[in-house]
Amino acid sequence: MQTEVKESGRFERTLTVRLENDELAAAKKKAAAKISKSMKIKGFRPGKAPLAVVERMAGADYVRSEAIEEAIQDIVPEAINEAGLDPVTVPTVSAVRDDNEDGVVEIDVLVTLWPVLESLPEFGEIEIEVEDPSPTEDEIAEQLDALRNQFAELADHDGELSEGDFALIDISAELDGEVVDTAGAKDLMYELGTNSFIPGLDEILVGATVGDT
């Protein structure tokens, strides 16, 4: 195996790998064994047919192309390592030349490298403005109100309801004078002033007392 590295970009290199005849021959045998596993060849067990038989049955060109694929998987990683290249991503095969008169196969592999910083900038004179993270009085008050509401305990009272009060209510709906069971609610805890339920409910509840209907 012979290799050559050329610069194809600031952080890219093209690695050309030349497969010698003996390497290609070994790859052919491996490819033939793999191909014959999926074929029924009389007189041979799957994966055990000789190269010449597989070439005759499947075609020499097909066996050669599969051999090149096998060589790419086996030899290219070794070639990248021997060339001292440290890829940042999975290298890609950019070209395969299989028309040389000497029968040698050439494979071009594009390798993207990690960027190398030749020098670091000086940060000593750089000033950074940082906003004051202190909360405003309104933000503090908002959070305190949220905490009070979160941990507050409900207490019974007999007076009229007003916004912010919680009421345990039963709701029923009627259609043509008959109660609709699926449209009501029982023991519903509702906070006045949220307007989060039936439109107009808050206006009805404000000023109501226990037992009103």
Domain boundaries, the chain: 2-112, 155-213
Token pair of 147 as six digits: 């905490």
Closest to 19 measured CA to CA, from 90, 87, 67: 67
Q: Given this model, what pLDDT does residue 18 score?
A: 92
| 37-51, 70-84, 156-170, 193-207 — most confident range | 70-84
69 neighbors 30 (Cβ within 8 angstroms): no
Alpha-carbon Rg for the chain in angstroms: 40
What's the pTM value of the predicted model, to 2 decimals? Answer: 0.48
pLDDT at 150: 80
Angle value at C-alpha 47, between 45 and 51, nearest 5 degrees: 105
Element (H, E) at 151: helix 137-151
Quick one: pLDDT at residue 109? 94
What's the pLDDT score for residue 45? 85
Confidence of residue 85 (pLDDT cuts 50, 70, 90): very high
Look at domain 2-112 and name its CATH class: alpha beta
Q: What is the pLDDT of residue 186?
A: 83
Q: Around Cβ 155, how many Cβ atoms within 10 Å? A: 6
More confident site: 124 or 39: 39
| pLDDT tens-place string over residues 90-126 | 999 999 998 888 878 999 999 999 887 777 777 777 7
Identity of the residue numbered 8: S
